[in-house]
Chains A and B, each alone.
Chain A
């Protein structure tokens, strides 16, 4: 048991040593790097961000992000740099334009439609209650009988 524990400790310590070590001037820069690598999308392994992916292009993009942050560029500048090369695809927060507007509008419209249907049905139900069903059918029945009688000689 203790031998296994030793082995595990050895294994994980090697793993810890292999982690990338990046140095930043400020904690804000480190935070920015972590945020950006989490929200930039890998163009090769779709549905992974560049922090998760080990594709060559993700490694290069991480490296570039690091370099740009070290040069003092802010979040928007780094994002623009990547979008200029890989398109809107590369950022997990798409810009609002006439194609993507529906992503925000559609849920709202569906909620409104649901609400409107609810109001419509409720108003119909209450109006149906106010005029009793029996009355209308009795009137209709009288009319039918009258029409039937009038046709007879």
Chain B
């Protein structure tokens, strides 16, 4: 009994040190998503390039795809365009959700669709175009419903419109291979 008590502080210290050590290698931004295994929320969003075209969740059913939240203003999103384009060439369907920034009425120019289209076109020409099409989330309402905290974020949505993965941050070969590809393969099967 005495011996156990004698070593107790050492064990307590070791346990604390191990706990804190594991904290050094964990990602504080990683957390469970609330949107997993839920259906895509209701929306009706205009296409960025053809604003007359309105996309709804039912039109997106039928094939597993990646829903990629991005914006031309976001450097990380621009950096991942190249790799996403590679994925598209391998047959992955990728839909873009354009995350428009809020505008301050006192300092910013009002929203201009033509300018945005020019921006998007230019960026996709430079970096590669991974998208089947882009939906314009002008007031970020769908992003809020999806639990998006910023750009870039990517969802894997299956053929029935159920969200199967939610990734915060960029997609690079490592993330794709270790985290997203297995889920994508699993849900792509008919």
By a CB distance below 8 angstroms, the chain B residues around A86 are 34, 147, 149
List residues of B (118-156) whose CB comes within 8 Å of A's CBs: 140, 143-150
Do B140 and A60 touch across chains, with their CB atoms under 8 A apart?
yes
Q: Are B102 and A85 in contact (CB under 8 A)?
A: no
Determine whether the beta carbon of B140 is less than 8 Å from that of A87.
no
**A85, B35: Cβ atoms under 8 Å?**
yes
Compute how far the CA of A64 lies from the CA of B141 in the bound complex, rounded to whole angstroms.
9
B101 within 8 A of A: yes
Q: Bound complex: CA of A85 vs CA of B28, how far in Å?
A: 19
Which residue of chain B is the closest to A59 with respect to CB atoms? B102
Contact A83–B144 (Cβ < 8 Å): no
Question: Are A56 and B146 in contact, CB atoms less than 8 angstroms apart?
Answer: no
Report if B115 contacts A (CB, 8 A): no
**Assembly CA distance A46 to B28 (angstroms):** 9
Among A64, A85, A87, the residue within 8 A (CB) of B31 is A87
Residues of A within 8 A of B146 (CB): 85
A85–B146 CA distance with the chains assembled, in angstroms:
6
Per-residue CB contact flags for chain A residues 78-95 toward chain B (1 = under 8 Å, else 0) read 000001111101000000
Supposing A64-B144, A86-B147 touch, asked if A56 and B35 sit within 8 A by C-beta, the answer is: no
Contact with B along A28-56 (1 / 0, CB 8 A): 00000000000000011010000000011
Question: For the complex, is A57 an interface residue (Cβ under 8 Å from B)?
Answer: yes
CB-CB under 8 A for A46 and B148, given A56-B102, A60-B140, A86-B34? no
Residue B29 interfacial (CB < 8 Å) = yes
Task: Report how far A57 CA is from B69 CA in the complex, Å.
Answer: 13
A56 lies within 8 A of B150 (CB) = yes
Residues of A within 8 A of B149 (CB): 43-44, 55, 57, 86
Cα A25 to Cα B76 in complex, Å, equals: 42
Other-chain residue from A55, A57, A85 in contact with B145 (beta carbon distance below 8 A)? A85
Known: A44-B149, A56-B102, A60-B140. A83 touches B34 (CB 8 A): yes
Q: In this complex, what residue of A is CB-closest to B146? A: A85
Task: Decide yes or no whether B32 CB sits under 8 A from chain A.
Answer: yes
In whole angstroms, what is the CA distance A86 to B145 when docked? 9
Instruction: Pick from A57, A83, A84, A89: contact of B150, CB below 8 A.
Output: A57
Residues of B within 8 A of A (CB): 28-29, 31-35, 101-102, 106, 140, 143-150
9 A-B pairs closest in CB distance: A43-B149, A87-B34, A85-B147, A44-B149, A86-B147, A57-B149, A44-B150, A89-B31, A60-B140
Q: Which residues of A contact B (CB under 8 A)?
A: 18, 43-44, 46, 55-57, 59-61, 64, 83-87, 89
